[in-house]
Chains A and B, each alone.
Chain A
Amino acid sequence: MAQVFGPGANSIARFTLGGSVFGIVLLFGVLELYVRSPYVTQVGQPVEQPVPFSHKHHVVDDGLDCRYCHTNVETSAFAGMPSTQTCMNCHSQVWAQSPVLEPVRQSFMSGQPIEWNRVNNVADFVYFDHSIHVQKGVGCSTCHGSVDQMALTYKAQSFQMSFCLDCHQNPAHYVRPQDEVFNMAWQPPANQDELGRQLVQQYHVQTRISCSTCHR
């Protein structure tokens, strides 16, 4: 009777063992990359809205401050979304007949609110408060990106836990002077880490990395 296993059998066995270990590692690696990819996090993908609102037009062309519409960002956990009334403050005069703004007029007349699709979201098991971040010198653009350049609004950061922890572990690398918080064009200066350490002391910024800081 002939040999069942030929001379190459040992090599094949080694290759299979090594290959399966490599394959498992590769599989996990690919999955880890996948959950961080824009395909899952939806970073950079504009979200469809009932009215094609352009932050770029309102901030750069018209010069509106963030807080004209997001009124509660300094006092509340929720930054606030403009009421239909806020839109109509200007749009009862400007573009008052524009067909694009029909849903806004409809809402104002009927009393039915506009349902905007949420762009930035943290999971429900995460406690987040806008006001404390703004007061401690975390700028809008640190988390929301260059919203002033967004014709259609999209998410600039994944808001996965590692993103929050980057700053919570080393706030000095990210904080800015309080009068620059709403400056969308602010770039960290060359001596950011030195300046940051001063600001951290001055604003009493605490390094908070306990689980229950956010998962309370």
Chain B
Amino acid sequence: MSDDESVDIRSSRQALFTDALAQRADVVSRRRFLELMGASLALAGLSSACAPPREQIVPYVRPPEAVVPGKPLFFASAHVLGGYAQGVLVESHEGRPTKIEGNPQHPDSLGGTDA
């Protein structure tokens, strides 16, 4: 492809886009866009200040027995490994299990974790 041809293609493409742009009355120039973005960012920083977002506290409707919010609960349970039950201790926070370790009172693991 010669240089002339590539220039032709480029100018025809430009013409295509400038036509499309010209048809839009509310077109925002690059400079105007950056001005607006800069201004709105600056104002957002001013108005929202450093105040943290609002948080909610959602207490129980009927509190379950033994659950103390903020304290973990431990459940002695078992899980099957290689056909044998392993004694485990499950830590749970507000009903969500977070950590499983060997049960220290179980002679097999004595509190250790494997696998």
Determine, out of B68-76, B77-85, B104-112, the stretch whose residues face the partner at the interface: B68-76
Contacts of A111 in B (CB 8 A): 61-62
Q: How far is the CA of A35 from the CA of B59 in the complex (A)?
A: 31
Determine, out of A56-64, A94-102, A115-123, A176-184, the stretch whose residues face the partner at the interface: A115-123
Q: Output the nearest chain A residue to B64 by Cβ-Cβ distance.
A: A83
Q: How many A-B residue pairs have CB under 8 A?
A: 71
Determine, out of B1-9, B19-27, B50-58, the stretch whose residues face the partner at the interface: B50-58
Contact B56 A80 (CB under 8 A): no
Q: Which interface residue of B54, B56, B61, B63 has the most chain A CB atoms within 10 A?
A: B61
Minimum CB–CB distance for B113 against chain A, Å: 23
Contact A78 B70 (CB under 8 A): yes
Contact A113 B49 (CB under 8 A): no
Contacts of B70 in A (CB 8 A): 72, 76-78, 80
Contacts of B58 in A (CB 8 A): 113-116
Contacts of A117 in B (CB 8 A): 54-57
Contact B57 A118 (CB under 8 A): yes
Contacts of A81 in B (CB 8 A): 57, 59, 69
Q: Which interface residue of B49, B57, B59, B71 has the most chain A CB atoms within 10 A?
A: B59
Contacts of B56 in A (CB 8 A): 115-118
**Any chain B CB within 8 A of the CB of A85?**
yes
Q: Which one of A85, A107, A114 contacts B63 once the chains associate, using CB atoms below 8 Å? A: A85
Q: How far is the CA of A113 from the CA of B59 in the complex (A)?
A: 6
Contact B68 A75 (CB under 8 A): yes
**Any chain B CB within 8 A of the CB of A149?**
no
Minimum CB–CB distance for B93 against chain A, Å: 11
Contacts of B52 in A (CB 8 A): 121, 123
**Any chain B CB within 8 A of the CB of A13?**
no
Contact A80 B55 (CB under 8 A): no
The residues in A between 105 and 131 inclusive whose CB is less than 8 angstroms from any CB of B are 107-108, 111-118, 121, 123
**Any chain B CB within 8 A of the CB of A142?**
no
Q: Output the nearest chain A residue to B59 by Cβ-Cβ distance.
A: A81
Known: A72-B68, A116-B59, A121-B52. 19 other contacts (CB 8 A): A39-B49, A40-B51, A72-B69, A75-B68, A75-B71, A76-B70, A76-B71, A77-B70, A77-B71, A80-B59, A80-B70, A82-B59, A83-B59, A83-B61, A113-B59, A115-B58, A117-B56, A117-B57, A118-B57
- Chain A residues within CB distance 8 Å of chain B: 35, 39-40, 42, 47, 72, 75-78, 80-85, 107-108, 111-118, 121, 123
30 contacts between A and B (CB under 8 A): A39-B49, A40-B49, A42-B51, A47-B54, A72-B69, A72-B70, A72-B71, A75-B68, A76-B68, A76-B71, A78-B70, A80-B59, A81-B59, A83-B59, A83-B60, A83-B61, A84-B60, A84-B62, A85-B61, A107-B61, A108-B61, A111-B62, A113-B61, A115-B58, A116-B56, A116-B57, A116-B58, A117-B55, A117-B57, A121-B52
